């Protein structure tokens, strides 16, 4: 490709098509967080490995950290006109080399999340079919089927994905709210334990791990900015959607975890969570609604995980689209379907990656839960938190350098508070990585994960340096991303 072609390609207008308002964007963000999955899978970890009955406080602390992060993130996103999200923000503040390193790390981290959650979808679906009908297809077959369906939805117009996610999200939130109401009806408002917010419980156990798992429960909320090109009136829609997502998810977690603690009991909650790490919330539901409703929750848990997979697919695809748009990835990744207005080539590429990845992991004979899911989710979380920290730093650097926004809270205080909170959680995660992974080879696997995260970032950064030397016009064209 000659220089004039590169310049034309970089300047050629591409635009995703969509008419997303605040509600569908919030739904896609909350679907990525997978609230029912958080209640079933994350809450027992926050209680058992964290600080017990103070799990609601952990959710509140995580919400405040993510809110402070979001203040700076939204302020900087106003200066970005594309779907680059974290990548574009980091490049805006820290330069193209760090930006491409972060973009590579983001795509790999989200892809690991998708493989991990997809694996769990297959495993949980097989278990449910065996329980209900006595048939148990291999987990990988069901995972591959889920990936194919997600590929079809990702290929089509974004509104189709948002409608599916909206239905799945409403159902899973409704079932948690029903359980909350039944607990309150049983215990009364006065039965919600104040101990959850008292210092002796907050400081018990490992509060750092509790807040870490709570931060993990917010994954994907930056997708508000990823849908900028497909949003209706993005200057208004994106900020409102971002704050709505952070507070709605956070308040939902605080209240629902508080009800779970009340339903099981402050004194019993830690032992119960450690004894039933996989079905603590299902047993709480069964206590109030019966066994049949517990089966319904397991079905909704699968749809919750599937919705999370779809949302993660859409996020990765839009990273590939924006990198293709500026010739970092092959330009065909930025092709937009004439009818659906979707980045269909990038969607097909991501679907193919997921299919091949699951097949290779299956051939390797890895356990779907203790290895593929646990390792993939943990590695993805570490990468995600590194990206959050870089984004907060980019906000501080950009507004300090440019002086384009003098609001102290938006450009200094809130971003710094978010950065401190995220770095603290990242340090806790790294220090406890072997325990989070589990197993006899936890130390070695932890080292490989750390090396993998570093290599993913280095790969993108080195690619940027090579691009600068070999194709300076393409490197300079990246300015359009910021």
pLDDT, position 2: 45
Smallest CA-to-CA distance from 396 within 93, 5, 77 is with 93
**pLDDT at residue 424 in the model:** 92
Among 18-22, 39-43, 67-71, 470-474, whose mean pLDDT is lowest?
18-22
Report domain extents, the chain: 3-481
**What is the three-class DSSP state of 378?**
helix
Query: Does residue 192 carry a pLDDT above 90?
Result: yes
Say what angle helices 55-77 and 207-216 make with each other, to 10 degrees: 50
Q: pLDDT by residue (tens digit) across 445-472? A: 889 999 999 999 999 999 889 888 888 8
Q: At residue 195, does pLDDT exceed 90?
A: yes
Compute the distance between CA of residue 223 and CA of residue 346 in angstroms, rounded to an integer.
17
Structure tokens at 482: 């910021």
For the entire predicted model, the pTM comes to 0.85
Q: H-helix or E-strand containing 53?
A: none
pLDDT number for residue 353: 94
Percent of the chain with pLDDT over 70: 90
Give the Cα-Cα-Cα angle 358, 361, 362 (nearest 5 degrees). Answer: 85
Least confident of 8-12, 225-229, 231-235, 361-365: 8-12
What DSSP state is assigned to residue 193?
-
Where residue 405 falls among pLDDT bands split at 50, 70, 90?
A: confident
Residue range 9-28: average pLDDT? 61
- pLDDT given for residue 253 in this prediction: 96
Whether the Cβ atoms of residue 24 and residue 162 lie closer than 8 Å to each other: yes
Q: Could you tell me the CA-to-CA distances from 451 to 139, 278, 351, 459 in Å, in that order? A: 29, 30, 26, 12
Degrees to nearest 5, angle at CA 314 with 312 and 315: 65
In a 3-state reduction of DSSP, which class is residue 40? helix
Phi/psi for 267 (5° steps) reads -75, -25
The pLDDT of residue 167 is: 78
- In the chain, pLDDT over 90 holds for what percent of residues? 44
Q: How many CB atoms lie within 10 A of CB 269?
A: 26
Backbone angles phi, psi at 407, to 5 degrees: -70, 115
Least confident segment among 1-10, 93-102, 367-376: 1-10
Span 245-264, average pLDDT: 95
Given a cut of 80, whether residue 180 has pLDDT beyond it is yes
Q: Kindly report the CATH number that applies to the domain delimited by 3-481.
A: 1.20.1740.10
Query: What's the average model confidence in pLDDT over 213-223?
Result: 80
Per-residue pLDDT, 434: 87
Total Cβ atoms within 10 A of residue 20: 24
Residues 447, 340: Cα–Cα separation, whole Å: 43
Give the start-end residues of each E strand in 115-232. Answer: none
Q: What is the DSSP string of 217-281?
A: TTTTTTHHHHTGGGBSSHHHHHHHHHHHHHHHHHHHHHHHHHHHHHHH-TTTHHHHHHH-TTTHH
- Per-residue model confidence (pLDDT) at position 28: 73
| Per-residue confidence (pLDDT) for residue 12, from 0 to 100 | 41
Q: Is 339 helix (H, G, I), strand (E, B) or coil?
A: coil
What DSSP designation does 13 have? Answer: -
- Highest mean pLDDT out of 128-132, 326-330, 418-422: 418-422
- Chain segment 331-348, per-residue pLDDT in tens: 788 788 777 677 889 889
Radius of gyration of the chain (CA): 22
pLDDT value at 419 more than 70: yes
* More confident: 409 or 227: 409
What is the mean predicted confidence (pLDDT) over 412-428? 94
CA angle 164, 168, 174 (to 5 degrees): 145
Confidence of residue 102 (pLDDT cuts 50, 70, 90): very high
Query: Looking at residue 4, what is its pLDDT?
Result: 43
Q: How confident is the model at residue 10 (pLDDT cuts 50, 70, 90)?
A: very low
- For the segment 64-73, the average pLDDT, to the nearest whole number, is 94
pLDDT digits (tens, 9 = 90+) for 121-147: 999 899 889 988 899 999 999 999 999
Q: What is the pLDDT of residue 351?
A: 93
Of 104-113, 250-259, 312-321, the one with minimum mean pLDDT is 312-321
Mean per-residue pLDDT over the chain, rounded: 86
Average pLDDT over residues 304-316: 84
The pLDDT value given to residue 5: 43
């Amino acid at each position: 490709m000659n220089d004039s072609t590169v310049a034309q390609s970089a300047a050629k207008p591409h635009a995703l098509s969509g008419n997303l308002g605040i509600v569908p964007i919030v739904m896609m963000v909350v679907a990525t967080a997978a609230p029912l999955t958080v209640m079933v899978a994350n809450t027992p970890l926050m209680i058992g490995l964290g600080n017990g009955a103070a799990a609601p406080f952990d959710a509140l602390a995580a919400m405040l950290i993510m809110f402070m992060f979001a203040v700076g993130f939204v302020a900087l996103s106003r200066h970005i006109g594309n779907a680059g999200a974290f990548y574009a923000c980091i490049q805006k503040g820290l330069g193209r080399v760090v930006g491409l390193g972060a973009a590579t790390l983001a795509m790999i981290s989200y892809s690991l999340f998708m493989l991990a959650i997809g694996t769990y979808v297959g495993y949980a679906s097989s278990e449910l079919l065996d329980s209900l009908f006595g048939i148990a297809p291999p987990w990988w077959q069901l995972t591959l089927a889920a990936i194919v369906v997600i590929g079809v939805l990702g290929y089509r117009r974004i509104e189709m994905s948002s409608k599916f996610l909206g239905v799945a999200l409403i159902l899973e939130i409704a079932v948690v709210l029903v359980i909350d109401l039944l607990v309150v009806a049983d215990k009364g408002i006065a039965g919600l334990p104040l101990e959850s917010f008292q210092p002796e419980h907050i400081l018990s156990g490992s509060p750092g791990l509790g807040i870490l798992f709570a931060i993990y429960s917010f994954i994907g909320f930056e997708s508000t900015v990823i849908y900028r090109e497909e949003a209706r009136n993005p200057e208004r829609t994106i900020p409102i959607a971002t704050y709505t997502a952070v507070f709605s998810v956070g308040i939902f977690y605080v209240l629902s975890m508080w009800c779970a603690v009340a339903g099981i009991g402050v004194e019993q909650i830690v032992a119960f969570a450690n004894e039933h790490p996989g079905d603590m919330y299902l047993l709480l539901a069964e206590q109030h609604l019966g066994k049949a409703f517990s089966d319904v929750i397991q079905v909704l848990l699968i749809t919750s995980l599937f919705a999370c997979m779809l949302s993660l697919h859409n996020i990765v695809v839009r990273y590939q689209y924006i990198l293709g748009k500026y010739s970092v990835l092959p330009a065909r990744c930025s092709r937009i379907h004439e009818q659906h207005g979707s980045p269909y080539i990038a969607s097909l590429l991501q679907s193919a990656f997921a299919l091949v990845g699951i097949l290779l992991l299956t051939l390797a004979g890895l356990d779907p839960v203790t290895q593929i899911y646990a390792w993939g989710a943990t590695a993805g979380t570490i990468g995600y938190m590194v990206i959050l920290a870089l984004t907060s730093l980019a906000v501080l650097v950009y507004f300090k350098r440019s002086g384009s926004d003098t609001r102290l809270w938006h450009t200094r205080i809130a971003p710094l508070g978010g950065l401190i909170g995220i770095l603290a959680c990242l340090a806790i995660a790294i220090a406890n990585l072997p325990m989070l992974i589990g197993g006899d080879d936890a130390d070695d696997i932890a080292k490989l994960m750390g090396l993998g995260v570093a290599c993913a970032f280095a790969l993108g950064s080195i690619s940027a340096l090579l691009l600068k030397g070999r194709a300076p016009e393409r490197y300079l064209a990246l300015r359009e991303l910021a």
